[in-house]
Structure 1
Amino acid sequence: MINDILDVAKIEAGQIKLSCQPCNVEALCQSSLVFIKQQAFSKNIQLESEIPANLPPFTIDERRIRQVLINLLNNAVKFTPDGGKISLKVSYIPFLDNAENINFEGMPCDTLEISVVDTGIGIAPDQIKRLFQPFVQVESALNRNYNGSGLGLALVKHLVELHGGEVRLTSELGVGSCFTIALPIMPFCESSIVPEPPLPSTTEAITDAIAETPLILLAEDNEANITMFVEYLSMKGYRLVVAHNGRMAINLAQQTHPDVILMDIQMPDMDGLETIQRIRQIPELADTPIIALTALAMSGDRDRCIAMGANDYLSKPVSLKQLVTKINAYLTEP
């Protein structure tokens, strides 16, 4: 959230300059999808992509447009119920097919459109205009249980407009939403003096590269805590998958084989202590580091957690810096 605040402030102060290079759009889109794959998997959300073959390279600030796409995809996962669907669609529109597309000089130009379509809770028409303002979340009985800073869409709008483009939104309550970024194809920004490393040329290579990022399984039932942990640890470069109860944690641990498990002790259905004990009975997870988290902080809590099979223990409110230190310690153990 702090990074988002700083980015918005820098953009409004004119301190962010685009750094553009020819970009492989298919690789950009596929790598963005990989970042939200685990979150979608945990909610049984189907991911689809529709990307035309043989797209030409486009000159954009690849890092910033990836930031835009991941923001939109994260929102789609957040507001799409379990079992829903999210689609990422790309269209290349030559100016001859749409004479309304113009560049900064008032000349027609080609346009790249990327849409994120979900089957989520939707947005009321009277709320759409407010949606792209910083620190604003729409008021709705459908979405008031979803936490967030309200900065993501403001940042999306700013970054797309820096490219000379626009963000479009169509939405229907209870049906879903479609966010489209339209980028005019033109030399609107200076090329980087030092080009970014090229992306791998295939989806498999991209998936393999991102799969090397440590995967954290967070077992937690409190949505505010989930938002805090996910946003902070994602910012630190980890991938996360979230389980909302003990049984789900066991299933996801077996399916994803995380590098570290963060286990809340007070959970419904099956508490964290029983969950840790059952995970330790699964041979392939017997040595997976588990850090127990508890809000009770009573005498003997640490000993009970260690006795059940946890490697470490932190009491809530958790120091996020201390948590990252502990995670890194287990990741670097031989």
Structure 2
Amino acid sequence: MLTKTDDDLPYDYLVLATGADYSFFGNDEWAQHAPVLKSLEDALTIREKLLSNFEQAERSKDIAQIQGLLTFIVVGAGPTGVEMAGAIAEFAKTALTRDFKSIDTKHLRILLVEAGSTALSAFPEELSSYAVRALRALGVEVHLGRPVKAITDSGILLGNTWIASSSVIWCAGTQARPAATWIGADAARNKAIIVNADCSVPGQPDIFAIGDVASYQTGFNHPLPGIAPVAKQQGVYVAGVILARIRGKTSIPPFKYRNWGTMAVIGRSHAVADFGKIRLKGFIGWLAWSLVHLMLLVDFRSRTSVYLNWSWAWFTRGRSARLLTGVQRKKPQPTRAVYDSLTDSKN
């Protein structure tokens, strides 16, 4: 149960929406070698790492070092991993062509590795197979059914094969943040709180859990997916439950998730979309993905601005400024000649 401290805040109702974090399946030491993508800061860090690798490869004369710098490995072939691999492929091709003249593109390798037998396992087989074909057309090596056994700062052990790489990105399993232990609640395998039909915690009716931190299985053969639409719908539902209780209503229908579909974008102009009976892929799927994300923006002005920027970038393959801002560099030391000249000027 919750313990009392001097900083405790009293509550009538408590809604836990603490989200999830990546799981390294018991290999937490891998985290220092394989960054994850959960925030804007993570995305900027990964982008900077890619550009830094290109810069180093441009200056290097060591073939083995260049190959390690230009080998990018994405672990996990869910929507995040597929989108990441496609984005790196598009980004790398454009950057190497326009900005770097000494790099031989034959050294570039982009790998998407997955322990399971399929990519995008939550999608129908038709869309999953298309995603793999689209990635391979972009030059991505897709390795399915091959678990990662080790990750270091110099590469990964994929099955029994060692692959040298200085850029490994983790997009595999997730687990809920430890809210279940905070309140002494039962948890599922992914540490998510097992909740009732009204999203309340069993035995603690004034505490609710929603989104990634909740394991909602009532009326479903498997827990609801850890995606934003689930969390948003549960948030609206729980707000209604609390309001109903305040008004004295005791009979409240259980939560029902309305699945509006699932999407994944694969590089430029390729995507898959599963809307149940309607399934889209290729350029049509990408248009659907773009439209949905555009409509989720707040107002007309934002949508118009983003639409114009997207259109310009798509037709011109435009890019934003590529600046390295987070890399800590040592202050250059003056050469002996410079040192002598400085000393002479002072004397």
**Pairwise TM-score range, normalised by the shorter structure:** under 0.3
Looking at both structures, which has the greater relative contact order when contacts are Cα pairs under 8 Å and sequence separation is at least 6?
A: 2
TM-score by length of 1: 0.25
TM-score by length of 2: 0.24
